[in-house]
């Protein structure tokens, strides 16, 4: 695996609607391996990996390019900045954080925090993101030259990969994109017996917006959304609330808030994992959602599921996942695509 590529994906900004730089990285790594590339009006990048095989099943594997983040919404007279959140951001995690504003120049800033010795300690409520002040510490004239309404803003934490773990912002879903890219590198060299498509989709964090139009282009039989999924395997958390665990292999999702995965497709994947001795985890929950929902129910629909790398502290400045889980997810995905022609309904 090219872990430097994972670091590049994580460190490059790409909030919903501003995914162009991420798309360039994806394109640089897989376009030359694929038969064709199509970019739809929303900015989804869709790749046909192999030549069309008549009467063969078709499978789409997707990972979304956007990360949770912010847009500049207002600049105060004194140069302080206001932002709006794009995607699910816990206001308690936002307060006091370092941010990067991607303006004409990259400007480091901080979410203004009241020193504890002068704050009202009886007020434990979190200030909404849109009410917080963002302080760059630079002059008003410089702020107005370098920053404008609509500039994207991300957490400023950089990706660290060592000791068999990844610590980074944006593992939802840059780790899924990484799995997609590395799998295409392997599968493009194989003689597979299906019609294999992949998509790098936009605006997932804003209601699966990009995925809703991909089915009309592909009309696939099977769909897999690659994700970084919630891992809550922490001390003090009951086992039934821990969901996917680190170091236990990829998650095969049974359900979430919007999806009931195709049971026969899931069983097919489980059987492959068992046969190849790839550890995996099953999760059933009624929270969260992925592009798999859109792939399952739009256009003619498809047999859909989710394959995920477990990640602690999702949608935070610093999420954690394990290199071993990434490796196992790639291995299982390669098996699925290589053997999907054997699926029996």
End-to-end CA distance of the chain: 34
CA distance 82 to 179: 35
Annotated active-site residue 182? The verdict is no
Contacts by residues 19-26 (CB-CB < 8 Å, ≥ 24 positions apart): 19/43, 19/65, 19/66, 19/202, 19/203, 22/65, 22/66, 22/174, 22/177, 22/200, 23/65, 23/200, 26/65, 26/177, 26/180, 26/181, 26/200
Query: Residue 27: exposed, middle, or buried by beta-carbon count in 10 A (0-12, 13-18, 19+)?
Result: middle
The beta strand positions in 90-131, using DSSP E, are: 98-102, 106-111
Cβ contacts of 118-124, under 8 Å, gap ≥ 24? none
Burial 137-165 (b: 16+ CB within 10 A, else e): eeeeeebeebbeeebbbbbbbebeeeeeb
Q: Say how far apart CA 155 and CA 289 lie, in whole Å.
A: 23
Tell me the three state secondary structure of residue 248.
coil
Pull the structure tokens for residue 328: 């196992």
Neighbours of 327 (CB within 10 A): 18
CA-closest candidate to residue 217, choices 298, 275, 285, 286 = 298
DSSP code of residue 224: E
- Helix H or strand E encompassing 149: none
The single residue of 19, 182, 204, 227 carrying the catalytic annotation is 204
CA–CA distance from 341 to each of 13, 50, 192, 222 (Å)?
37, 14, 9, 11
Known catalytic residues? 204
């Amino acid at each position: 695996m090219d872990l430097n590529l994972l670091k590049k994906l994580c460190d490059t900004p790409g909030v919903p609607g501003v995914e162009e730089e991420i798309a360039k990285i994806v394109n640089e790594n897989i376009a030359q391996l694929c038969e064709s590339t199509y970019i739809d009006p929303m900015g989804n990048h869709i790749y046909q990996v192999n030549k069309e095989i008549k009467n063969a099943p078709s499978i789409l594997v997707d990972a979304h390019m956007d990360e949770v983040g912010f847009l500049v919404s207002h600049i105060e007279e004194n140069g302080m900045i206001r932002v709006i959140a794009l995607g699910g951001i816990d206001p308690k995690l936002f307060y006091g954080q370092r941010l990067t504003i991607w303006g004409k120049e990259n400007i480091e800033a901080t979410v203004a925090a009241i020193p504890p010795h002068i704050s009202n300690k009886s007020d434990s409520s979190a200030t909404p993101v849109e009410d917080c002040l963002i302080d760059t510490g630079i002059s008003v004239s410089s702020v107005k030259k370098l920053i404008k309404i609509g500039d994207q803003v991300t957490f400023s934490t950089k990706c660290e990969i060592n000791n068999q773990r990844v610590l980074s912002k944006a593992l939802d879903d840059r780790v899924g994109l990484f799995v997609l890219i590395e799998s295409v590198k392997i599968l493009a060299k194989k003689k597979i017996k299906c019609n294999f498509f992949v998509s790098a989709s936009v605006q997932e964090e804003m209601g699966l917006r990009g995925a809703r139009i991909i089915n009309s282009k592909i009309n696939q039989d099977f769909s897999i959304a690659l994700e970084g999924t919630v891992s809550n395997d922490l001390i003090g958390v009951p086992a039934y609330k821990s969901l996917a665990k680190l170091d236990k292999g990829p998650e095969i999702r049974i359900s979430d808030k919007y999806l009931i995965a195709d049971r026969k497709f899931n069983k097919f994947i489980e059987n492959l994992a068992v046969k190849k001795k790839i550890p995996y985890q099953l999760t059933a929950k009624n929270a969260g959602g992925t592009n798999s929902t859109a792939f399952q129910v739009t256009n003619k629909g498809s047999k859909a599921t989710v394959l995920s790398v477990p990640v602690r502290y999702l949608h935070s400045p610093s999420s954690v996942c394990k290199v071993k889980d990434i490796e196992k997810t790639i291995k299982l995905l390669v098996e699925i695509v290589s053997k999907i022609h054997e699926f029996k309904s």
